[in-house]
Amino acid sequence: MRMFLCVKTQKLLSRVLSPSATVRWRRLSCVSSPDEDKPRPSVLRHLTTKLKATGPIPVAEYMREVLTNPVTGYYVRNNMLGPDGDFITSPEISQIFGELLGVWIVSEWIGAGRPKQLQLVELGPGKGSLACDVLRVLAQLRSVLGDASASLHLVEVSPALSRLQAQNLTGDRSQEANAEDEPVYRRGETAGGLPVSWYRRLDDVPAGFSVFLAHEFFDALPVHKFQRTAKGWREVMVDIDPEKPGQLRFVVAPSPTLASSTFVQAGERRDHVEVCPEGGVIVQQLAQRIAEDGGAALIADYGHDGTKTDTFRGFKGHQLHDVLAAPGSADLTADVDFSYLRRMAGGGVACLGPVAQRTFLKNMGIDTRMQVLLRNCSDASTRKQLIGSYNMLTDPAQMGERFLFFGLLHRSRLTQPERATGLTLDTKTKKSPLPPPVAGFTELSFS
Ligand code: SAH
């Protein structure tokens, strides 16, 4: 029975990878908004005013202010993704990435017994490219989904990016809510009539069977940083540099803070640790939703399993950038500690991974998909681009080993179904089927 899902997922793949499957060109245009033309308030001025009033602030508060302050935040004001932005992500590099995640979603929906409702929820959807690629797969597999009703729910803090997502996913078929505090701040539908809703927080997404995707989302959430000292663990804070006016510096808190007494694990062996409590809370919410309503979550990010120390860094124009210089002008990020996420998920759900992106994509059949695309592509420069993006996603020295995939599943998904207990004559001879393997985390068999 172990082969069951392998064959099922293989069938899903072969429909998505049909000979008609072609290379899709991305629209990299930006949708301008009325706010984008206004002069920006200085993030540095705002921060120094705050620091003068309160004294040093935790790195987590600095990161939150810089990235998601409702007026000045880097994510709130910018379109930072792509070749002209500050960084590029896997869904922007190749359509294959989102297509394989689309197959994963449908295979988990099948593994859960084909519920009548499928909510696809994406946290931090960027330009909406991943969702576009996933929805194209869902449309190709419409006959597999039968009469299940699918809907898309996007959790996005940035009004600028939500407009770009709406443009890419719905064209002009979306509308902003009238009142600013509406939990659903924008609604629309795709050309195929699939409903799409936008929320600021995961809390606002309705309950129901859901598959959650979070790609390069957790690394954008604020981290606290802690340093081991002769006096014990101390929190790293951000302060004004007294010797260089207008510049910021790191300082170590002289005494324990609430965070340093709470978040560092007993028996921690590293000298420096980063903890992302906001990420922990979101994983707890995902785990609770999956345990109560069924579903799965796939979290993909660069990260580690509780081994790394100082990973906080900035990116500007595809170059590393000093995290304290010109705040608001660069992306800030920290590697995701998957061992922390696993701990925060608790025992109510099953956790899988993390596995390297290369392993996950190869298990999902990326090599077969590449062959199909290359077979249908005679243009030399497009072929070169396809091969280049494949290498970027899978090469261990590029994104292949640095990016990790981590899954949360309903506990029933991995447990052997109970034997039938009815009084039918053949009950004794029936074998309980093994649970179907989880695609991506288990190698697909093409035998
Ligand atoms: N997933 C996309 C974009 C990654 S960038 C991709 O891989 O291409 C991070 C995304 O998360 C952006 O869309 C950003 O606006 C959003 N984001 C960052 N912090 C957030 C928060 N606290 N709540 C909701 N969205 C957030």
Residue 435 is predicted with a pLDDT of 75
Residue type for 138, please? L
Mutate to test the pocket of ligand 1, among 26, 81, 88, 157 (most ligand atoms within 8 A of CB): 157
Is 244 exposed, middle or buried (CB count within 10 Å of its CB: 0-12, 13-18, 19+)?
exposed
The model carries a pTM of: 0.90
* Cis bond upstream, residue 41 (ω within 30): no
Q: What is the pLDDT of residues 120-164, one digit of tens each?
A: 999 999 999 999 999 999 999 999 999 999 999 999 999 999 999
Q: What is the pLDDT of residues 296-342, one digit of tens each?
A: 999 999 999 999 999 999 999 999 999 999 999 999 999 999 999 99
Q: What is the pLDDT of residues 59-118, one digit of tens each?
A: 999 999 999 998 889 998 777 887 778 888 999 999 999 999 999 999 999 999 999 999
Residue 17 is predicted with a pLDDT of 58
**Does the CB atom of residue 126 touch ligand 1 within 6 A?**
yes
Domains defined for the chain, CATH in brackets: 44-77+224-275 (no CATH), 94-221+277-413 (3.40.50.12710)
Residue type for 319, please? Q
**Mean pLDDT of all residues belonging to the chain:** 88
Least confident of 10-14, 20-24, 101-105: 20-24
Residue 5 is predicted with a pLDDT of 39
Range with the largest mean pLDDT of 37-41, 43-47, 122-126, 380-384: 122-126
Q: How far apart are CA 437 and CA 362, in angstroms?
A: 15
- Gap from CA of 436 to ligand 1 centroid (Å): 32
Q: What is the pLDDT of residues 290-305, one digit of tens each?
A: 999 999 999 999 999 9
* pLDDT band (50, 70, 90) for residue 396: very high
* pLDDT band (50, 70, 90) for residue 371: very high
**Does the CB atom of residue 279 touch ligand 1 within 6 A?**
no
- Gap from CA of 124 to ligand 1 centroid (Å): 3
Q: Within 13 A of 149's CA, how many CA atoms are on the CB side?
A: 5
Q: How far apart are CA 357 and CA 350, in angstroms?
A: 20
Mutate to test the pocket of ligand 1, among 65, 169, 217 (most ligand atoms within 8 A of CB): 217
> Is the pLDDT confidence value at 27 over 50?
no
* Residues, the chain: 447
**Does the CB atom of residue 331 touch ligand 1 within 6 A?**
no
- CA nearest 168: which of 179, 178, 156? 156
> Is the pLDDT confidence value at 48 over 70?
yes
Q: Count the Cβ atoms, other than its own, within 10 Å of residue 93.
A: 20
In sequence order, which residues have a C-beta less than 8 Å from that of residue 282 and are 6 or more positions away? 123, 202, 218, 221
